[in-house]
Amino acid sequence: MVERLEHRERKFLDPLIVSKLSSLDLRARLVVEGFIAGLHRSPYKGFSVEFAEHRQYMPGDPIKNIDWKVYARRDRFYVKEFEEETNLRAYILVDASASMGYSSGASVTKLHYACSLAAALSYLMLRQQDSVGLLTFTSSIKKYIPPRSAKGHLNIIMTELERLTPEETTNVSKSLELLARRIRRRGLIILFSDLMDDQASVLSAVKHFRYRKHEVIVFHLLDESEMSFPFEEELAFVDMETQEEVIASSRQIGARYKRIIKNWTAEYKRQCHEHLVEYALLSTSTPYDVALTRYLEKRARLH
């Protein structure tokens, strides 16, 4: 029975299975519920996702702050936190440029993956009474929804994510710099993008958020085929943003392509690490709990 329940929970963390659900709201709720159920059996016992106003007791915490009702239910000590200690202000940034619409056929598009994960994170954060905002961009800023913690705010975010479609060319660095100037209150920046732009410019823009004292998580999203290059025959490769077409032998360029991609992602990881930016490379087949766990780890370090 337990194994069947765990299988059901894991199912709703699989991007391909979740994509078959028509409602983004339902996808987000099932992803988070499956994640939380798994979290309770995981080593991450310190993460409190059920009680926004509580956290696990640590040596040195005032005994007067222990919530004895929670102790009676859970046989664990939790302390009450005040609003200023628990509230987090987060900004979710979603790249909606044309390249984010790519899918190799066996997976969801990068934009679909980003929107599903952004919706799940929004649901999780609002459940924790954190404030969350949404910013979408291509070569320019498309939409800005300021952070709120009200329950009805989730519907506003979901509606915007539902209508998001890949379009236009990429100018990640320019958009990020504009967003950095627009976001004046310090918070947690969560970026979803394939980062397919001039690398030095993108990194410069990401560092701009750190210069303004924001915490930053970069979720670098790529299709599995963009990472592994499984092609073998001669193919026409078409740029989804410029429509430029190149015909090439996959066998001849495969090894060089893989080397370039490996060095490219490694440089993003190295530079982000040097500037205290959280970096996570994800394929569109990566279960959603991997990203949700990275978020909770980051959130725990902010307290």
| Confidence class for position 245, pLDDT limits 50, 70, 90 | confident
| Confidence class for position 239, pLDDT limits 50, 70, 90 | low
Residue 86 has pLDDT above 60, yes or no: no
Between 16 and 242, residue with greater pLDDT: 16
Residue 242 has pLDDT above 90, yes or no: no
Weakest mean pLDDT among 41-50, 157-166, 177-186, 192-201: 41-50
Residue 232 has pLDDT above 80, yes or no: no
pLDDT in tens, 4-40: 435 455 666 788 888 877 788 888 888 888 887 766 4
Sign of the Cα torsion 125, 9, 155, 118 reads: positive
Would you state the pLDDT for residue 180? 85
Q: Mean per-residue pLDDT for 219-247? A: 79
Would you state the pLDDT for residue 100? 94
Q: Mean per-residue pLDDT for 132-146? A: 91
C-alpha span between 257 and 255 (Å, rounded): 5
Would you state the pLDDT for residue 42? 46
Domains and their CATH numbers in the chain: 2-83 (no CATH), 87-301 (3.40.50.410)
Q: What percent of the chain has pLDDT over 70?
A: 81
Q: Mean per-residue pLDDT for 117-138? A: 92
